[in-house]
Amino acid sequence: MSMMKFKVYIIVISFFSSQFCTAQKERTQEDYLKEFHQIDSIVHQNFNVDKIHTLNQNEIEELIQLYYKEIEILDKIEGEERLKFFMYKFRGGDFMLLDLLNEANKNMELSYSYFYQIKGELDDFCLLHAYLGYVDLAKNYTRLNKMNKAMMHYKNALQFTRKYYTDLAHEATALNNIGIHFFENLNKKDSAMSYFSRAQEIMLKESDKKRRTFLGSIRDNIANVYLEEGKYEKANELFKQNYTFYSPKSYALAPDYERWLRAGLQIGETNLKLGYTEKAKRIFDEINTKIKQYTFLEKSSIRLRYLRDMEHFYTIKRNHKKAYQYALKKQNLIDSISREKKSEIATWNDKLQQISIRRIKKNIEAKQLEKQQIEAEERLKLGVFVGILAIITLILLYLFIRYQQKIKEEEKAKYIAEQEASLLELNNELLNKDIALKKNDLTDAVTQLSQNQKWIKTLAGKIKKIQLTQGRERASILEAIEQEVSTHLQENQSTQEFNQRVAQLSDEFYKKLEKEFPKLTKADIKLCAMIRLGIGNNEIAILQNINPSSVHQSRYRLKKKLNIEEDLDTFLAKY
């Protein structure tokens, strides 16, 4: 491989590596702002938004896509509340021009969430667009036949003027708009007149001559209400004021020829209603002269109104030929306007229809893709849910089996404990019976030993008697003594058996006493055993071959060694 090729490979690898690393970087706020301004620049350079109806179908569709792209990027930009307010407001206005009223309302309503977050002083430009945004929202909802929503935004505009504007003109204009809504859309003349009157009252207090130009519009609306109520004189007076008010010589702002000429025609119309036909003719001729003079206006609506008024005038004058001529001119103009408008509307509707079809198709495809993704996610969720449910079921089954086993083990242990307790109770019962029998045997043995002791004393007396007798009587006594000796041997054997029985019966008793009281002697332990067996003091004295008083002393010493206060018999019975 040549050095040149090697360098080329290094450059290519470096380039793609750098591109990959750049793509991996997280986009910053500056990146989003830069991309937004680039798209906004494309919109202004390539599309005449002010004449949006002149754009062809592809241009409109491309423009809409750019708008959505701008909005998508705006959502990712943090801060920039002022920028977001204006862009959502402007895009709402653009969607309104495209007759996408719901989309327009969505964007304009969103703009206010940023308007009220703008930090610092709000300039006139910002306030103006915030006010106009409420008015546009109201008009859009009116077109959508949502009158309550429209009224809400008209009132929002009124509250806005009272909060942010110090002049009276803006508040009067907001009141005038509410009056128009009541008059034209809700057909409530009384409510409309109430708002128009309040607007006029406020506007008359306005000192700024330029701002008072809105007064003409308010007078015009009041006059229209008077016309509806048949108060032609009052309406005519207001139209005269407006004719003078809008005159190019007296109007404070740039000349508004359309309103000026319309006010003149309105004077003529009310004169006809009042029966002042000659006055009406003079004003109509004056307006016609001005229409011809200001040909640059090209206001077909003024020309059409003039022709309609002249037809009406000649109809009243019963000059049917002239009336017909003006009616024919009027109809030709209507047809011309209608054709142009129909053509424009048809072209525009066709554009929108095609765009809508494409958008619907794209939306369907997007929804189908979204549906597939949702179904895949749902299947995954279902699989996970089923898996988790299976695991939980297995765990519960395992716990249930363990619980059943535990219950069985507890029942088994309880049964064994009950059997052991029953066996222990039986053993205790048998032991108690055995002890009782042995106690009886010992009692019998004690009784027999006591009797043997008495016999021994008797024999001792007989031995003394031998010394005093002779012959047969002596032989008889000796025979009796032999018999007594034999009995004495039996008594010794019984005593030995008694001691063995006591030792056997009290083996556990001895062990327990020796463990708890290691200082007790064997005689003490033996005495304890006899007391526990319930043997009385006299019998103990006989068995120990001591006096009963000695037994009392032995018991006293034993109680001291045991260091107890309670009765000795009661204490030992517990062992």
**Which tens digits make up the pLDDT trace of 529-568?**
888 888 888 888 877 778 888 888 988 888 888 888 888 8
Residues counted in the chain: 575
Q: Is the pLDDT of residue 480 over 60?
A: yes
For residue 528, give the nearest of 558, 557, 499, 560 by alpha carbon.
558
Residue 109 confidence (pLDDT) above 90: yes
Cβ within 8 Å of residue 554, ≥6 positions away: 523, 527
CA–CA distances in Å: residue 499 to residues 441, 487, 506, 542, 558: 12, 19, 11, 13, 20
How far is it, in rounded angstroms, from Cα 502 to Cα 182? 123
175 with 158: CB under 8 angstroms?
Answer: yes
Contact yes or no for 560/551 (Cβ under 8 A) = no
513: closest CA among 504, 526, 502?
Answer: 526
Cα separation, 200 vs 317, whole angstroms: 37
Mean pLDDT taken over the chain:
80
Return the pLDDT at 4.
43
Q: What is the pLDDT at residue 151?
A: 96
- The residues near 473 (Cβ < 8 Å, ≥ 6 apart) are none
Give the pair of three-digit tokens for residue 215: 């007064």
Across 162-176, 270-284, 516-530, least confident range: 516-530
Q: Is the pLDDT of residue 61 over 60?
A: yes
What pLDDT sits at residue 297?
A: 61
Residue 24 C-beta-side C-alpha neighbours within 13 Å: 6
**Cα 434 from Cα 504, distance rounded (Å):** 12
Stated pTM of the model = 0.55
pLDDT tens profile 253-279: 778 888 899 999 999 999 999 999 999
Distances in Å between the alpha carbon of 453 and those of 37, 446, 465, 492, 541? 135, 10, 19, 10, 11
CA distance 252 to 369: 60
Asked if residues 149 and 166 have their Cβ atoms less than 8 Å apart, the reply is: no
pLDDT tens digits along 298-321? 667 888 889 999 999 999 989 999
Please report the pLDDT score of residue 20 as a whole number: 41
CA distance 151 to 180: 11
User: Cβ(239)–Cβ(263) under 8 Å?
Assistant: yes
Write out the DSSP string of 207-253.
Answer: --TTGGGGHHHHHHHHHHHHHHHT-HHHHHHHHHHHHHHT-TTT-SS
Q: What is the distance between the alpha carbons of residues 307 and 323, in angstroms, rounded to a whole number? A: 9
Put residue 2 in one of left, alpha, beta given phi > 0 → left and psi -120 to 50 → alpha.
Answer: beta
Cα–Cα dist 169/506, whole Å: 122
Under CATH, to which class is 509-575 assigned? Answer: mainly alpha
Q: What angle do CA 268, 270, 276 make, to 5 degrees?
A: 75
Sign of the Cα torsion 459, 465, 470, 471 reads negative
pLDDT at 474: 73
Cα(first)–Cα(last) distance of the chain, in Å? 109
DSSP assignments along 437-460, one per residue: HHHHHHHHHHHHHHHHHHHHHHHH
- Residues 6 or more apart whose Cβ sits within 8 Å of residue 166: none
Exposure on the CB side of residue 253, measured as CA atoms within 13 A? 13
- Across 107-121, 127-141, 398-412, 528-542, which has the greatest mean pLDDT? 127-141
Candidates 551, 568, 470; CA nearest to 517 is 568
Question: pLDDT band for position 571 (50/70/90)?
Answer: confident
The maximal CA–CA distance of the chain, rounded, in angstroms, is: 205
